[in-house]
Amino acid sequence: MHPSVGSSTEESASLQPAISLCNDGQEVVLQGLDRRELRFHAVWLRYNCQCSDCVQPHSGQRLLESCHINPDTNIETASINEYGTELHLKWADSQHEGHVKLDFLKKHSYHGHKEPVSRDQANRLPSISYEEVISGDKGLLRWLQHINQDGMCLVKGAPTEMTTLMELVERVAPVQTTIYGKLFGVESTPNPINVAYTSVKLDYHMDLVYYESPPGLQFLHCIRFDDCVIGGENYMLNVSAVAERFRRQHPADFDILTKVPATFQKIHFARSEPVKMKYQRPHINLNHRGEIVNVIWSPQFEGPLNVDYSDVQPYYRAYHKFSQAIKNDKNFIELRLVPGEILSFNNRTILHARKSFELNGGVRKLQGCYLNIDEYKSKLAVLAHLHGDDEEVKHVGNQCWF
Ligand SMILES: [Fe+2]
Ligand SMILES: [Zn+2]
pLDDT exceeds cutoff 80 at 3: no
What is the DSSP secondary structure assignment for residue 307, as one 8-state letter?
S
pLDDT reported for residue 121: 65
List the beta strands (DSSP E) in 210-288: 217-225, 230-231, 234-238, 261-268, 275-282, 284-286
**Model confidence at 113, in pLDDT bands (50, 70, 90)?**
low
In this prediction the pTM is 0.90
Q: Mean pLDDT over all residues of the chain?
A: 93
Contacts of 363 (CB under 8 A, 6+ apart): 187, 224, 225, 226, 229
**Span 336-354, average pLDDT:** 98
Please write the tens of the pLDDT for every residue from 162-217: 999 999 999 999 999 999 999 999 887 767 777 777 889 999 999 999 999 999 99
Interatomic CA distance for residues 153 and 131, integer angstroms? 15
Distance 109 CA to ligand 2 centre (A): 19
Distance 216 CA to ligand 1 centre (A): 13
pLDDT reported for residue 16: 81
pLDDT reported for residue 159: 98
Distance 389 CA to ligand 2 centre (A): 30
**Residues belonging to the chain:** 402
Distance 66 CA to ligand 1 centre (A): 44
What is the DSSP secondary structure assignment for residue 206, as one 8-state letter?
-
**Model confidence at 122, in pLDDT bands (50, 70, 90)?**
low
Interatomic CA distance for residues 40 and 47, integer angstroms? 11
3-class DSSP assignment, residue 221: strand
Interatomic CA distance for residues 210 and 269, integer angstroms? 16
Interatomic CA distance for residues 333 and 234, integer angstroms? 8
Counting ligands in written order, the one closest to the CA of 368 is 1
Distance 352 CA to ligand 1 centre (A): 6
**Span 246-268, average pLDDT:** 98
Distance 89 CA to ligand 2 centre (A): 9
pLDDT exceeds cutoff 60 at 395: yes
Distance 339 CA to ligand 1 centre (A): 19
Please write the tens of the pLDDT for every residue from 7-60: 344 444 446 889 999 999 999 999 998 888 999 999 999 999 999 999 998 999
Distance 47 CA to ligand 2 centre (A): 8
Distance 84 CA to ligand 2 centre (A): 19
Distance 297 CA to ligand 1 centre (A): 11
Interatomic CA distance for residues 282 and 292, integer angstroms? 12
Quick one: how far is CA 81 from the chain centroid? Answer: 38
Distance 50 CA to ligand 1 centre (A): 46
Asked whether 296 and 302 are in contact (CB, 8 A), the reply is: no
Interatomic CA distance for residues 278 and 147, integer angstroms? 29
Q: Phi, psi at residue 89, to the nearest 5°?
A: -135, 150
Q: How many CB atoms lie within 10 A of CB 237?
A: 23
Distance 51 CA to ligand 2 centre (A): 4
Distance 356 CA to ligand 1 centre (A): 13
**Model confidence at 5, in pLDDT bands (50, 70, 90)?**
low
Quick one: how far is CA 305 from the chain centroid? Answer: 27
**Model confidence at 333, in pLDDT bands (50, 70, 90)?**
very high
Counting ligands in written order, the one closest to the CA of 46 is 2
Domain 13-108 has CATH 3.40.50.620: no
Please write the tens of the pLDDT for every residue from 59-106: 999 999 999 999 999 999 999 999 999 999 999 999 999 999 999 999
Comparing 41-45, 194-198, 246-250, 254-258, which segment has the lowest mean pLDDT? 194-198
Which is more confidently placed, 283 or 111? 283
Domain ranges of the chain: 13-108, 127-387
Comparing 11-15, 313-317, 356-360, which segment has the lowest mean pLDDT? 11-15
Asked whether 107 and 231 are in contact (CB, 8 A), the reply is: no
Asked whether 265 and 279 are in contact (CB, 8 A), the reply is: yes
H/E element, 18: strand 18-22
pLDDT reported for residue 2: 37
Which is more confidently placed, 224 or 392? 224
Counting ligands in written order, the one closest to the CA of 204 is 1
pLDDT reported for residue 15: 67
277: left (phi over 0), alpha (psi -120 to 50) or beta: beta
Q: What is the CA radius of gyration of the chain?
A: 26
User: The domain 127-387 belongs to what CATH superfamily?
Assistant: Clavaminate synthase-like (3.60.130.10)
- Helices marked H in 4-55: 42-47
Interatomic CA distance for residues 181 and 308, integer angstroms? 36
Counting ligands in written order, the one closest to the CA of 186 is 1
Counting ligands in written order, the one closest to the CA of 63 is 2
Edge-to-edge strand ranges of the sheet holding 350-354 = 202-205, 350-354, 234-238, 333-335
Asked whether 219 and 207 are in contact (CB, 8 A), the reply is: no
Distance 85 CA to ligand 2 centre (A): 16
pLDDT exceeds cutoff 80 at 316: yes
